[in-house]
Amino acid sequence: MLERHGRIARTAAVARVVALAAALLGGGGALAAAAATFAAYSGKVVNLREAPPPSMEGADMLDWVKSNAVTGRAQSSPGEWTLNLFTVFKSKPGMTKIMLLMFDKKDPDSIKKKEPIEALEIDVRPDVSNFVTSVNVTEDMGFNSGHHYIIRFVAATSKTERLLSEGEVALVKEAPKD
């Protein structure tokens, strides 16, 4: 599965993927109400100023995402950026491993050929619909300040690939004014 996407995920020291929350919705009647509030984010990846508290859910999470969404990500240290990503999948993954693919928007051939700069395998529950993760990317990995990157979460097998969500992030040296 990983071979289809070029480079295999880096070691934890280089590209740390931290699953902060597998599901952000409560249960029972609250589930339907919370699901409706997240409908606006279906299929989208949102870059956050910082990672949300792990216990946050439902309408509180939606308010938090709205107030912490940013378009750019400033360097956390020279040549390194930490991306805090929130997503609502179009559909449940249906598998325990999904891929986080990152493409440089300035390289349309790599997007067309499905050859990302980075491909990370992430463990999830097959029935998860919302997901938060933090990812460190560096210049050594091929990421550059001033570039825009397409971020995709996909459920992939050796024969098929299903897009779960997609978004974009710009990497900058200084904090953006959102």
| C-alpha distance from residue 26 to each of 51, 60, 65, 105 (Å) | 19, 11, 17, 36
Classify 23 as helix, strand or coil.
Answer: coil
67's CB contacts (< 8 A; 6+ apart) are: none
User: Average per-residue pLDDT in the chain?
Assistant: 78
The CA distance from 134 to 82, in Å, is 7
Amino acid at 64: W
Classify 17 as helix, strand or coil.
Answer: strand
The whole-number average pLDDT for the span 121-142 is: 91
Give the CATH architecture of domain 2-172: Sandwich (2.60)
Domain residue ranges in the chain: 2-172
pLDDT single digits (tens) 88-124: 999 999 999 999 999 999 999 999 999 999 999 999 9
Backbone angles phi, psi at 54, to 5 degrees: -60, -25
Q: At what angle do helices 29-38 and 58-68 cross, to 10 degrees?
A: 20
The CA distance from 17 to 174, in Å, is 23
Look at residue 131 in the predicted model and tell me its pLDDT: 86
pLDDT single digits (tens) 51-78: 888 777 777 888 888 888 888 788 788 8
Burial 136-146 (b: 16+ CB within 10 A, else e): bbbeebebebe
Could you tell me which of 76, 89, 81, 71 has the C-alpha nearest to residue 165? Answer: 89
